[in-house]
Amino acid sequence: MSDEFLDHVLGGRTAEVEEAVRKAAAAEIMPRFRQLTADDIVEKNGPHDLVTVADRAAEAHLTASLTALLPGSVVVGEEAVHADPAVYEALHGDAPVWIVDPVDGTRQFVHGDPGFCTLVALARHGELLASWTYAPALEEFAVAVRGRGATLNGQPLRSGSPAPGAVLQVATSHPDYSSPDQKRALLGLVTEGVSPRPCGSAGLEYLAVARGALDGTAFGWEYAWDHAAGLLLVTEAGGTHLTLAGEPYRITGGNALPFTTARDAETAKRIRTLLGGR
């Protein structure tokens, strides 16, 4: 995809998208932070898969504002796909797609923990063009544009590399969301020189990798709304990602799991090998 096409699709809208994300959070998320009642929280697929009125309202707000910014675009949002799984097929279509997770880290949000964020990515034909990661309770906003770098609160982000001989800090799929096979693969990280821990908000774990505060991730699920924004953020900060098959993660699906995102190529290869990649 040429830079000219990227300019045509995104144009000068990066700041406008940022403003749309900020407005959605200000209107629909932050007024409900630490104000939720039991009636505001619903279990989707069990006690560990929650949705709140804030998730639904913020996604509706973003769907309206983002498609208005880019006529002809469509939205693949977590809550819309839950209501109609066919919505996910838009990732394979010709139209530009906004990939939206209105509240990434809903469990943290429900418990009054500030470690949640709103994730938005723009893609076309399976290729990520730009992403926005906003943690309103932490006052952090990260933006990435394909081939043009990543920033956090306006300052350049660089992932760097782990110090030689340092113990790798790796965030992994939370046990509550992992299948038995995934748990067995993740046990490969329980070894000398690696310190794995369950992840919180996936979007904030990606931001930690992009800023060099975390060495890598190992995730066993592939819903695009959890990963798209962070994958581009890490890549534009100098990091990389690999599936178990040794290929880059594809937002359109069909990935060999678990997959890793890491500060540099060597770290990604090491984590992949420990997960069982050959």
Mean pLDDT of 52-58: 95
- Which two structure tokens, joined as six digits, stand for 152? 């956090």
**Per-residue pLDDT, 13:** 84
Do 174 and 43 share a structural domain?
no
**Per-residue pLDDT, 1:** 47
**Per-residue pLDDT, 278:** 65
Q: Strands 168-172, 194-198: parallel, antiparallel or unpaired by DSSP? A: parallel
Do 148 and 37 share a structural domain?
yes
| Residue 236 domain-assigned (yes or no) | yes
3-state helix, strand, coil in the chain (%, to 5): 40, 25, 35
> For the segment 76-114, what is each residue's pLDDT rounded down to a tens digit?
999 999 899 999 999 999 999 999 999 999 999 999 999
Cβ atoms of 118 and 102 closer than 8 Å = yes
> For the segment 182-235, what is each residue's pLDDT rounded down to a tens digit?
888 899 999 999 999 999 999 999 999 999 999 999 999 999 999 999 999 999
**Per-residue pLDDT, 61:** 98
Q: Residue 179 — pLDDT band, cuts 50, 70, 90? A: confident
Do 138 and 35 share a structural domain?
yes
> For the segment 12-34, what is each residue's pLDDT rounded down to a tens digit?
789 999 999 999 999 999 999 99
Q: Residue 2 — pLDDT band, cuts 50, 70, 90? A: low
Structural domain ending residue among the three candidates 156, 183, 198: 156
pTM of the model: 0.94
Structurally, the chain folds into a number of domains equal to 2
Do 179 and 93 share a structural domain?
no
Distance CA 62, CA 98 (A): 9
Structural domain ending residue among the three candidates 156, 186, 217: 156
CATH code assigned at 129: 3.30.540.10
Distance CA 224, CA 251 (A): 5
Do 137 and 15 share a structural domain?
yes
Bridge partners, 149 (sequence order): 145
Do 106 and 55 share a structural domain?
yes
Quick check: helix, strand or coil at residue 46? coil
Do 224 and 95 share a structural domain?
no
**Per-residue pLDDT, 12:** 75
Residue 51 has pLDDT above 90, yes or no: no
**Per-residue pLDDT, 181:** 82
Do 182 and 116 share a structural domain?
no
Do 259 and 127 share a structural domain?
no
**Per-residue pLDDT, 43:** 76
DSSP per position, 231-269:
HHHHHHTT-EEEETTSS---TTS---SSEEEESSHHHHH
Give 115 or 182, the one with higher predicted confidence.
115
Do 22 and 50 share a structural domain?
yes
Distance CA 176, CA 196 (A): 15
Structural domain ending residue among the three candidates 156, 182, 202: 156
Q: Residue 48 — pLDDT band, cuts 50, 70, 90? A: low
Domain that holds residue 240: 168-275
Give me the chain's average pLDDT, please: 93
CA distances from 116 to 109, 177, 199, 277 (A): 6, 17, 12, 31
Q: What are phi and psi of 127, to 5 degrees?
A: -105, 130
**Per-residue pLDDT, 46:** 57
**Per-residue pLDDT, 45:** 66
**Per-residue pLDDT, 223:** 93
| Residue 161 domain-assigned (yes or no) | no
Q: Residue 132 — pLDDT band, cuts 50, 70, 90? A: very high
| Residue 72 domain-assigned (yes or no) | yes
CATH code assigned at 225: 3.40.190.80
| Residue 163 domain-assigned (yes or no) | no
